[in-house]
């Protein structure tokens, strides 16, 4: 006994075969519950809905790309203003708070950094992603940030995939179709701080 297919292309192919077979061999199948015309009409309705879904998906991808580009432009303008404000105010915390920002926190120059905060995926593409996080609020001043990943379902050891001196990084050349876990660790001469929260991504 054959099994009913579950893949869409196989279902469509079987529908075409059924409609053709019923129409061609009425002497064998004189009174089917669904006539060849019923099957053909349902198949046409599916094709129309499929084409609409493909178009909607393409439009959604274009819309997402436009949104990401607009966000990138907004972020660049915001960062330019914040750098200007920090320079103009000489990083005065009170003045920077007028912009919802703040001056650098006083912390010891030495000592292991604290834990990186609120790691998140800001944007992603076919084989790249932009990670963003907040610097530690305690511990020594980070000199850099180490970015690590591991394959989720396979587990295994964490692998270094990037270093950043600011609180964001774009990772290119990431394998699509594989779910990875990412984390970030603040480092300086004294050592490494605790790992950040984990984010999971499948491009």
Q: Domain check: are 112 and 143 in the same one?
A: yes
**Nearest by Cα to 93 from 81, 106, 104:** 104
Q: Domain check: are 34 and 118 in the same one?
A: no
The yes-or-no verdict on residue 152 having pLDDT over 90 is no
Q: Domain check: are 128 and 83 in the same one?
A: no
pLDDT in tens, 3-50: 888 788 888 888 888 889 889 988 988 888 989 898 889 889 988 888
Q: Domain check: are 146 and 188 in the same one?
A: yes
Q: Domain check: are 127 and 53 in the same one?
A: no
Q: Domain check: are 113 and 97 in the same one?
A: no
Q: Are 187 and 146 in contact (CB under 8 A)?
A: yes
Q: Which domain holds residue 3?
A: 1-104
Model's pTM, two decimal places?
Answer: 0.49
């Amino acid at each position: 006994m054959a099994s009913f297919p579950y893949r869409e292309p196989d279902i469509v192919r079987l529908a075409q075969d059924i409609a053709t077979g019923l129409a061609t061999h009425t002497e064998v199948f004189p009174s089917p519950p669904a006539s060849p015309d019923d099957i053909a009409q349902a198949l046409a309705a599916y094709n129309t809905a499929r084409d609409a879904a493909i178009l909607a998906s393409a439009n959604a991808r274009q819309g997402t790309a436009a949104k990401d580009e607009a966000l990138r432009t907004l972020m660049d303008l915001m960062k330019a203003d914040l750098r200007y404000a920090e320079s103009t105010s000489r990083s005065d915390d009170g003045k920077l708070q007028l912009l919802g920002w703040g001056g650098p926190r006083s912390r010891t120059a030495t000592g292991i950094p604290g834990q990186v905060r609120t790691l998140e995926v800001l944007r992603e593409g076919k084989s790249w992603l932009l990670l963003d996080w907040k610097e530690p609020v305690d511990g020594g001043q980070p000199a850099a940030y180490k970015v690590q990943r591991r394959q989720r379902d396979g587990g295994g050891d964490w692998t270094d995939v990037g270093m950043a001196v600011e609180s964001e990084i774009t990772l290119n050349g990431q394998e699509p179709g594989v779910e990875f876990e990412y984390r970030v660790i603040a480092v300086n001469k004294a050592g490494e701080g605790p790992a950040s929260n984990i984010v999971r991504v499948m491009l």
